[in-house]
Copies of this chain bind each other. A is one copy, B any other.
């Protein structure tokens, strides 16, 4: 790579970051069991891939401290946060020592951990980890899915959390 190539690459990364800052995402906490117990992190990169059979995917940035957890885990839970759970989202995005302290959870038969109060959760087996320039695109085969309390979801965009309501609906 020449210096020119490197500069072009940095401009592309800067432009890309600026545009994707405006891309809204529903907020989830992904949990997995590590060697020292449950771990979790906030993610806005969860997408449905296939419905029948059900698969979803999410990405983990190369620089994320959660990358090693996902690299080692067999299964994960994606907890879709409710509009009232911005504090939970912030907790699982912060460099806390114990992110689960004071957080209400339930443990599934296989050991996976679900956060109480999410609008729904999906648990599944990691089937593919696609390495893309050091970041991971993780493909998960769904084993269980459960609705939580009826609520609008929590949204993240441009470094801020937002809540949807009946009044934000269009049409």
Binding site for B on A (CB under 8 A): 9-10, 12-13, 15-20, 22-26, 28, 44-59, 61-62, 80, 83, 86, 119-122, 128, 130, 132-135, 137, 139, 142-147, 152-155, 157, 160-165, 168-171
Q: A16-B122, A120-B19 are in contact. Are A25 and B47 (CB under 8 A)?
A: yes
Contact (Cβ within 8 A) A134 B50 = yes
What's the number of copies of this chain in the assembled complex?
Answer: 2
- For A133, what are the chain B residues with a Cβ–Cβ distance below 8 Å? 50, 52-53, 55
Contact (Cβ within 8 A) B23 A48 = yes
Min CB distance A25 to B, Å, is 6
Min CB distance A155 to B, Å, is 6
Contact (Cβ within 8 A) A142 B59 = no
